[in-house]
Chain A
Amino acid sequence: METMLIFVLSLMLIFGFVAFASKPSPVYGGLSLVVSGGLGCAIIVSLNSTFLGLIVFLIYLGGMLVVFGYTAAMATEEYPESWVDNMVAFSMLLLSLLMEMVWLMVSGEVEVVMAVELFDSLGNYCVGQDWNGVSLLYGCGGWAMVLLGWILFITILVVLEVIRGL
């Protein structure tokens, strides 16, 4: 039952990706990103990584996509182009849906591997492996945290430097 759920969710995820890759107006692209993010979160949560799913919703959808939505709303035009306005986008959606159905019928058994182990390869007891990784990032992986902070800093610096004077 759960493998069926993950399978259906991943099919819908791919369809969501096509929906923003067919490049409608950024407003509709943001909408498709929200849907794809939610579906991705559902896949992760059904694989027992609840923390990562929460992170997707809070940080990705609730932080980054909100900022993107505000900037897209500031720069939008009067009649944003949706999926049915452009023949190319619409046919891209239809063809991708068709291709997924064909693949579903033609491919053999699809296997979804769900390996939830409470013991890792050394025999140590580890529950909630996604929480484990985050705690390591604050502990012995502190250098990675500093590096990530530096990368975020130079990202915003690069963006601001590129648009300086424009």
Chain B
Amino acid sequence: MSPYVTTILTLSLFIGTCLTIFSEHWFTAWMGLEINTLAIIPTTPKNPRATEAATKYFLTQSTASMVMMFAIIYNAWSTNQWTLMQLSDNWASIAMTLALAIKLGLAPFHFWVPEVTQGIPLLTGMILLTWQKLAPTAILFQIAPHLNMKILIMLAILSTLVGGWGGLNQTHLRKILAYSSIAHMGWMIIIVQINPTLTILSLTIYIMATLTMFLTLNLSNVTKIKSLGGLWNKSATTTIIILLTLLSLGGLPPLTGFMPKWLILQELINNNNIMTATLMALSALLNLFFYMRLIYASSLTMFPSTNNSKMQWYDNPTQITMLIPTTTVISSLLLPLTPLFITLS
């Protein structure tokens, strides 16, 4: 794609999210989400799998926007105002929750996430799973007092279970990251009514870790577990980064990924949702299992290979690795700063 088109589409992506985040009228929020959907469609290549993935993405996001518009207009009809933070009508808030669940890829509306993420290149999938989550989460954060806790719990527990169990049988890395996204969105949405700041915190740390994963996988363009087996030879530091980031995504202390899970479980228990907290913690173990499988394939074992030499004799990276050290440090070393994140809220 020509650089002019890429610039315009990237700018529009940025404009869309900013419009949704900064809006107080429902129309502008809806407009921002539509701009986001539209701007990411032509970034997919032209092969049949990517075309199918783009079509599925567009159709699901459009359906979600339609349900959202129903909710907006119903709320405007029954409460006579268009303020974003006052979604006071009951039916409208339920419809809006379901619309945002479709947009974020929460179970039971999660079916598009693995197929869309698998069909598009690694960097486009990265934008899809990180940047496109910002705008709907911002809307959820703002309408949090009016949400229905039963629906949130149902969405969250289903998402973590589906994200955990669905990722167990996958060998393609993009699908694994898609199921990881589903599970983490479940963690984010359970706490949005109790303490919405933890949703933003969880989203931030998830975005940092996922950015690290996608950028690191993009360095050698690995997309399957089989290709992960040859990574030790190409660049051994990549395997260390993958190890740290995946353990952080799994939520193990002393890495950063433990912080949102810990705080979310604490808030849930403080509100007497002990069963919910137990179920969420147990289903995070499923996620950890297939992360461990990736770590096993990349750094803990050496797959049989035809290469006689131990390491590559030159170390001349041809890819730009600018962001990876920053995001790796953020996604693995930030746990001691937990009080800072709590007080910043």
- A residues neighboring B (CB under 8 Å): 147, 150-151, 154-155, 157-158, 161-162, 165-166
Whether, in the assembled complex, B42 has its beta carbon less than 8 Å from a beta carbon of chain A, the answer is yes
Other-chain contact of A154, B8, B46, B54 (Cβ < 8 Å): B8
Does B9 contact A147, Cβ atoms closer than 8 Å?
A: no
Alpha-carbon gap, A162 to B8, bound state (A): 14
Other-chain contact of B5, A147, A150, A157 (Cβ < 8 Å): A157
Alpha-carbon gap, A152 to B19, bound state (A): 16
Alpha-carbon gap, A147 to B19, bound state (A): 10
Residues of B within 8 A of A158 (CB): 9, 38-39, 41-42
Q: Which residue of A lies closest to B38 (CB)?
A: A158
Alpha-carbon gap, A150 to B13, bound state (A): 12
Given the known interface contacts A158-B39, A158-B41, the answer about A150 and B12 at a Cβ–Cβ threshold of 8 Å is yes
Does B39 contact A161, Cβ atoms closer than 8 Å?
A: no
Does B8 contact A157, Cβ atoms closer than 8 Å?
A: yes
Does A151 contact B31, Cβ atoms closer than 8 Å?
A: yes
Interface flags, B32-69, vs A, CB<8A=1, else 0? 00110011011000100000001000000000000000
Whether, in the assembled complex, B15 has its beta carbon less than 8 Å from a beta carbon of chain A, the answer is yes
Whether, in the assembled complex, B1 has its beta carbon less than 8 Å from a beta carbon of chain A, the answer is yes
17 residue pairs bridging A and B, Cβ less than 8 Å apart? A147-B15, A147-B19, A147-B31, A150-B15, A151-B34, A151-B35, A154-B8, A154-B9, A154-B12, A154-B38, A154-B39, A157-B42, A158-B38, A158-B41, A161-B9, A162-B42, A166-B46
Does A161 contact B12, Cβ atoms closer than 8 Å?
A: no
Report B74 CB to chain A, min CB distance, Å: 15
Q: Which residue of A lies closest to B27 (CB)?
A: A144
Residues of A within 8 A of B41 (CB): 158, 162
Residues of A within 8 A of B1 (CB): 161
Given the known interface contacts A154-B39, A155-B38, the answer about A161 and B5 at a Cβ–Cβ threshold of 8 Å is yes
Alpha-carbon gap, A150 to B34, bound state (A): 13
Residues of B within 8 A of A150 (CB): 12, 15
Report A18 CB to chain B, min CB distance, Å: 17
Residues of A within 8 A of B35 (CB): 151, 154
Report B277 CB to chain A, min CB distance, Å: 43
Greatest chain B CB density within 10 A among A154, A155, A162, A165 is at A154
Interface residues of B in 1-26 (CB under 8 A from A): 1, 5, 8-9, 12, 15, 19
Residues of A within 8 A of B46 (CB): 165-166
Residues of A within 8 A of B34 (CB): 151
Alpha-carbon gap, A157 to B39, bound state (A): 9
Alpha-carbon gap, A158 to B34, bound state (A): 13
A sample of 7 more A-B contacts (CB under 8 A), given A154-B12, A154-B38, is: A151-B34, A151-B38, A154-B35, A157-B9, A157-B42, A161-B1, A162-B41
Residues of A within 8 A of B38 (CB): 151, 154-155, 158
Alpha-carbon gap, A155 to B38, bound state (A): 7
Report A163 CB to chain B, min CB distance, Å: 9
Residues of B within 8 A of A161 (CB): 1, 5, 9, 42
Alpha-carbon gap, A151 to B16, bound state (A): 10
Alpha-carbon gap, A163 to B5, bound state (A): 14
Report A162 CB to chain B, min CB distance, Å: 5
Alpha-carbon gap, A165 to B54, bound state (A): 17
Alpha-carbon gap, A157 to B38, bound state (A): 10
Interface flags, B265-294, vs A, CB<8A=1, else 0? 000000000000000000000000000000
Interface flags, B158-177, vs A, CB<8A=1, else 0? 00000000000000000000
Residues of B within 8 A of A151 (CB): 31, 34-35, 38
Q: Which residue of B lies closest to A155 (CB)?
A: B38
Residues of A within 8 A of B5 (CB): 157, 161
Q: Which residue of B lies closest to A161 (CB)?
A: B42
Report B325 CB to chain A, min CB distance, Å: 34
Q: Considering the complex of A and B, which 6 residue pairs feature the smallest CB-CB distances, nearest first?
A: A161-B42, A154-B12, A162-B42, A158-B42, A158-B38, A158-B41
Alpha-carbon gap, A162 to B55, bound state (A): 11
Report B345 CB to chain A, min CB distance, Å: 31
